[in-house]
């Protein structure tokens, strides 16, 4: 038993030191990095929001200039969406998908490392704009013609256009990696109807990314061609069309809401049954809902454009589609609540966050269909009611589950339990702070307050709600701070977690905390949807090397068939490599050069990329370095 662990460790453990920090391809290290980096961006974007809330606390304030305000709200949105929500969920997927499906790594470990570096560099690229005071100023949906050179000279919008194309590369590689990993790397016996719901959600999300992102990339390529090369795709005076941008943007933009929310809903469907002490109710419906949202989500984008003067017939169609997309969410909502009713709930901190999620997401889900009702949408779109709605959906639907997931899974990642008392404090501050901050925004919107205004006149009925909202934001921030304190306290002094502190059912809890480099001593054979509940002897079998293949002859894992997960072949996995970071660095050079229109430098960047890709393809051995 110990001998197996030793042999596998010598095969899978990466060389310690700084070099391996750059060359790692271990999905767990990469996953942790994604989560940590994204969390830093979360804090930054949160601080930006705090400035916004202080500015709006009272009418006619001048804490920041209009230009600074526009940069702040734009960066808040871009950072939260592109640099926090998507990557942190990617991080959880990276760390836990292979563990939950009984694999030893992602399908393409080096591509995985590459994805992280691109995310980091693109994030730094975009954030750099704020440091030099040239951050984008046109909001996250960056409407033209305001975003064209005539109205927005300067680099601000180019940081957006190029940065979004740049980070899209990371999301795309990640998505492809998840699809292949989930389809081909599941442990033998984990047929598709036994997959944990989090894995289902990551799979749907990955497909949504693959289909939605090209539209955003095209939109931004056309934008940069307009801005940098004198094209006129969006310029009406030369036969272009600003509405084209809106279509391209929202074909991505609406599915993106599901790209953010779906994996979080998957977390809920995974965590909630554990603390209800029973399997989830209506598993097939929940799994199919996940897929349905991913598909129907592509048919609703025009509800962001109901005020643009479209023909009534097309509005009718998109109104119906937008209402339809409510149903899969409704199915999941009732599946969760009925699971709690039929279970025996245990009120741990992760579960509190899940309940906070249910309440908050429910409110966001109830205001959602209101936007499908065209006349109401036309009245209330671009008002603070929308700001309230999408924070209920995105903060409620994603951030609450993410905090729940952090409390749930950090013990597996660090080996130490979080502090319950600090956790409860953090939950209540975040929950109350959130409601106090965002509920009044519904009212502000109904009272006629448009979004994206840097100030407002006194006496319009908005003053008191803005003040309440600003106070709430400080409570919310205190809650996040409590979490951070809890983390740094627990990671040093927390009680040891043990393998399965929550008595959970999925495979990641079968192995030690933190997991060893090779994940599983032997690849388990899965016989049910809740393996650790139905096969209580499994952890012991895995450890003893009797659960399935040990594969201690090389850097290898098992590939299985797509639907039934029958063993097909043994895959030789690549090891540490410095080529992903080199290729990503080359890309950073290319995008920085394009930003300042320096073509020679861009060529240098392309050469670095070519070198990186050549090295990447050339060396297929176990350890490939410069």
For the segment 36-65, give every residue that binds another protein (CB under 8 A).
65
State the nearest-atom distance from the C-beta of 559 to another protein, in Å.
Answer: 34
Q: How far apart are CA 414 and CA 418, in angstroms?
A: 10
Q: Are 563 and 579 in contact (CB under 8 A)?
A: no
Among 204, 383, 490, 500, which residue interacts with another protein (rule: CB under 8 A)? 383
Q: In terms of CB distance, is 387 or 497 closer to another protein?
A: 387
Cβ proximity of 102 and 526 under 8 Å: yes
Half-sphere exposure of 34 (CA within 13 A, CB side): 30
Please tell me whether residue 429 adopts helix, strand or coil conformation. helix
The footprint of another protein on residues 588-607 (CB under 8 A) is none
Q: Per CB under 8 A, which of residues 351..370 are in contact with another protein?
A: 355, 358-359, 362-363, 366-367, 369-370
Q: Which residue has the tokens 């002094």?
A: 493
Using the rule CB under 8 A, which residue among 46, 214, 299, 345 binds another protein?
Answer: 345
Q: What is the rounded distance in angstroms from the CA atom of residue 53 to the CA atom of residue 51? A: 5
Contacts for 186 with CB less than 8 Å, ≥ 6 apart: 101, 102, 103, 195, 526, 560, 565
Name the segment binding another protein (CB under 8 A); options: 5-13, 372-380, 525-533, 547-555. Answer: 372-380
Comparison of 7 and 278: residue with beta carbon closer to another protein: 278
Q: How far apart are CA 586 and CA 606, in angstroms?
A: 6
Give the residue with the Cβ less far from another protein, 337 or 606.
Answer: 337
431 binds another protein (CB under 8 A): no
User: In the range 503-562, which residues lie near another protein by CB under 8 A?
Assistant: none
Sorted by sequence, the CB contacts under 8 Å of residue 48 that are 6+ apart come out as 72, 73, 75, 76, 79
Q: Decide if residue 313 touches another protein (CB under 8 A).
A: no
Which of 126, 157, 443, 507 touches another protein by CB under 8 A?
A: 443
**Closest CB 248 distance from another protein, rounded Å:** 15
| Residue 563: C-alpha distances to residues 101, 185, 566 (Å) | 13, 11, 8
Burial degree of 589 (CB within 10 A; 0-12, 13-18, 19+): buried
**Ranges within 208-237 binding another protein (CB under 8 A):** 236
Min separation Cβ 434 and another protein, Å:
15
How near is the Cβ of 200 to another protein at its closest, in Å?
Answer: 16
Q: Is 271 in the site for another protein (CB under 8 A)?
A: no
In the complex, what is the shortest distance from the CB of residue 297 to another protein, in angstroms, rounded to a whole number? 16
Instruction: Give the residue from 36, 33, 114, 179 showing the smallest Cα distance to 609.
Output: 114
Contact 282, 331 (CB under 8 A): yes
Give residues 451-480 in contact with another protein (rule: CB under 8 A): 451-456, 459-462, 464-465
Cβ at position 247, least distance to another protein in Å: 13
Q: How far is the CB of 573 from another protein (least distance, A)?
A: 40
Report in angstroms how near the CB of residue 222 gets to another protein at its nearest: 16
With respect to another protein, which residue has the nearer C-beta, 379 or 567? 379
Q: Judged by CB under 8 A, does residue 331 bind another protein?
A: yes
Task: Kindly indicate which of the ranges 76-84, 153-161, 313-321, 516-524 contains the residues binding another protein, using the contact rule CB under 8 A.
Answer: 313-321
Residues touching another protein, count (CB under 8 A): 83
Burial (0-12, 13-18, 19+ Cβ within 10 Å), 210: middle
241 touches another protein (CB under 8 A): yes
Q: Which is nearer to another protein, 117 or 385 (CB)?
A: 385
CB-based burial label for 357 (10 Å; 0-12, 13-18, 19+): buried
Contact string (CB under 8 A) for another protein, positions 121-140, x = contact:
----------------xxx-
Of 1, 47, 327, 484, which lies in the binding site for another protein, with binding defined by CB under 8 A? 327
Return d(Cα 10, Cα 85) in angstroms, integer: 36
> Which CB atom, from 330 or from 498, has the smaller least distance to another protein?
330
Q: Determine if 489 is a binding residue for another protein (CB under 8 A).
A: no
**Residues from 139 through 168 that contact another protein (CB under 8 A):** 139, 143, 145-146, 151
Q: For residues 5 and 291, which CB has a smaller minimum distance to another protein in the complex?
A: 291
CA count, 13 A, side-chain hemisphere, 344: 1
For the residues of 253-321, what is the DSSP string, one character each? HHHHHHHHHHHHHHHHHHHHHHHHTSPPTTHHHHHHHHHHHHHHGGG-GGGG-GGG---HHHHHHHHHH
Burial class (CB in 10 A: 0-12, 13-18, 19+), 626: exposed
Name the minimum Å distance from CB 148 to another protein: 9
Window of 80-88, 261-269, 327-335, 516-524 that interacts with another protein by CB under 8 A? 327-335
346 counts as binding another protein under rule CB under 8 A: no
Cα separation, 452 vs 52, whole angstroms:
10
Angstrom distance (rounded) from CA 145 to CA 167: 23
- For another protein, the binding residue among 24, 129, 381, 583 (CB under 8 A) is 381
């Amino acid at each position: 038993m110990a001998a197996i662990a030793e042999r596998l460790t010598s095969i899978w453990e990466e060389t310690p030191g700084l070099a391996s920090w750059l060359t790692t391809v271990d999905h767990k290290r990469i996953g942790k990095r994604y989560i940590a980096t994204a969390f830093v961006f979360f804090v930054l974007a949160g601080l930006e929001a705090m400035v916004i809330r202080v500015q709006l606390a009272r009418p006619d304030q001048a804490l920041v200039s209009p230009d600074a305000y526009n940069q702040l709200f734009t960066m808040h949105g871009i950072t939260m969406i592109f640099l926090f929500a998507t990557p942190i969920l990617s991080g959880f997927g990276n760390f836990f998908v292979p563990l939950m499906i009984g694999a030893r790594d992602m399908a393409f470990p080096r591509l995985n490392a590459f994805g992280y570096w691109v995310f980091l560099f693109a994030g730094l690229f975009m954030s750099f704009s704020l440091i030099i005071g040239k951050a984008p100023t046109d909001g996250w949906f960056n409407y033209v013609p305001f975003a064209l050179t005539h109205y927005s000279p300067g680099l601000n919008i180019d940081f957006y256009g190029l940065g979004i194309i740049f980070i899209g590369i990371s999301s795309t590689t990640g998505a492809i990696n998840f699809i292949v990993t989930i389809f081909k790397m599941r442990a033998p016996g984990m047929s598709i109807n036994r997959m944990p719901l989090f894995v289902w959600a990551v799979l749907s999300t990955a497909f949504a990314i693959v289909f939605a992102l090209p539209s955003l990339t095209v939109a931004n390529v056309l934008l940069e061609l307009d801005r940098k090369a004198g094209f006129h795709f969006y310029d009406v005076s030369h036969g272009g069309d600003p509405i084209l941008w809106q279509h391209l943007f929202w074909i991505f933009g609406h599915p993106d809401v599901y790209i953010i929310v779906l994996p979080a809903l998957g977390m809920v469907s995974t965590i909630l049954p554990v603390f209800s002490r029973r399997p989830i109710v209506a598993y097939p419906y929940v799994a199919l809902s996940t897929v349905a949202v991913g598909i129907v989500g592509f048919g609703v984008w025009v509800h962001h454009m109901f005020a643009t003067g479209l023909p009534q017939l097309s509005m009718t169609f998109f109104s119906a589609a937008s209402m339809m997309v409510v149903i899969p969410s409704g199915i999941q909502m009732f599946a969760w609540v009925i699971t709690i009713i039929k279970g025996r709930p245990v009120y741990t901190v992760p579960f509190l966050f899940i309940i906070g999620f249910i309440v908050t997401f429910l409110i966001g889900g109830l205001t959602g269909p209101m936007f499908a009702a065209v006349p109401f949408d036309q009245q209330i779109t671009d008002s603070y009611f929308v700001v309230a709605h999408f924070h209920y959906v995105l903060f409620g639907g994603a951030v609450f589950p993410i905090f729940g997931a952090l409390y749930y899974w950090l013990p597996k990642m660090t080996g130490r339990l979080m502090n319950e008392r600090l956790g409860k404090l953090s939950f209540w501050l975040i929950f109350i702070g959130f409601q106090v901050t965002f509920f009044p925004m519904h009212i502000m919107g109904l009272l006629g307050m448009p979004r994206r205004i840097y100030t407002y006149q006194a006496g319009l009925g908005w003053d008191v709600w803005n003040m309440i909202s600003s106070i709430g934001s400080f409570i919310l921030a205190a809650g996040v701070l409590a979490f951070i304190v809890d983390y740094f306290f627990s990671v040093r002094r927390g009680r040891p977690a043990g393998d399965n502190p929550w008595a959970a059912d999925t495979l990641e809890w079968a192995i030690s905390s933190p997991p060893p480099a090779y994940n599983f001593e032997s690849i388990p054979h899965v016989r049910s949807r809740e393996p650790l509940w139905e096969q209580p002897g499994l952890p012991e079998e895995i450890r003893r090397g009797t659960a399935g293949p040990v594969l201690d002859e090389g850097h290898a894992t098992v590939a299985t068939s797509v639907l039934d997960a029958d063993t097909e072949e043994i895959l030789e996995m690549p090891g540490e490599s410095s080529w992903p970071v080199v290729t990503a660095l080359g890309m950073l050079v290319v995008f920085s050069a394009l930003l300042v229109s320096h073509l020679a430098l861009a060529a240098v960047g392309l050469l670095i990329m070519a070198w990186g890709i050549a090295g990447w393809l050339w060396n297929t051995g176990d350890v490939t370095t410069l």
